Amino acid sequence: WGDERCVPPDHPNSNYRMARRALLDGVGIPASNVHRIRGELPPQEAAAAYRSELKAVLGQTGRFDLILLGLGSDEHTASLFPGTRAVEEQQQNVVAVYVEKLGTWRITLTLPIINKARHVLFLVRGDGKAEALARVQGGEQLPAGLVQPGEGTLTWIVDRDAAVALPTPGIAG
């Protein structure tokens, strides 16, 4: 998981709940292979627990093979919102972040672990994301624009509606 809201796993706003219903329930992945963020815990505890979980699962390299991200119309990715401390974090791979404009806590991967991945894939869909996508692709220092895997690859899969404002042709698929 790249991020999670601080809610129980059966809450309508839970990323885990959404992924479980849309994907996991239909493919028979053993529960022991699903490493979710424990959003029902207090924020700092949830972040520490996920750091420990990732260390146990990823081993010494601490490197993901693939990280799947989206882009919010407010220019956030994972729970890395512009102007929050989580965007600047360099020591921890997972942090709890209070998102003031939403009035809520979230747990998120940080840029150091995201940029260490072998492959990062962005999926961006809808005209509500067009302006944010154009700003990121235009080089603005927004969270998604700071995703630059050092020894990995970065792929953007963008629908036509989201790509409408892009300055460069050929981005839409």
54-84 pLDDT, tens per residue? 999 999 888 999 999 999 999 999 999 999 9
12-37 pLDDT, tens per residue? 999 999 999 998 998 988 888 999 99
CB-based contact 77:70 (threshold 8 Å): yes
Q: Exposure of 56 by Cβ count < 10 A (0-12 exposed, 13-18 middle, 19+ buried)?
A: exposed
Mean pLDDT in residue range 84-101: 96
What is the distance between the alpha carbons of residues 29 and 31, in angstroms, rounded to a whole number? Answer: 6
Q: Exposure of 107 by Cβ count < 10 A (0-12 exposed, 13-18 middle, 19+ buried)?
A: buried
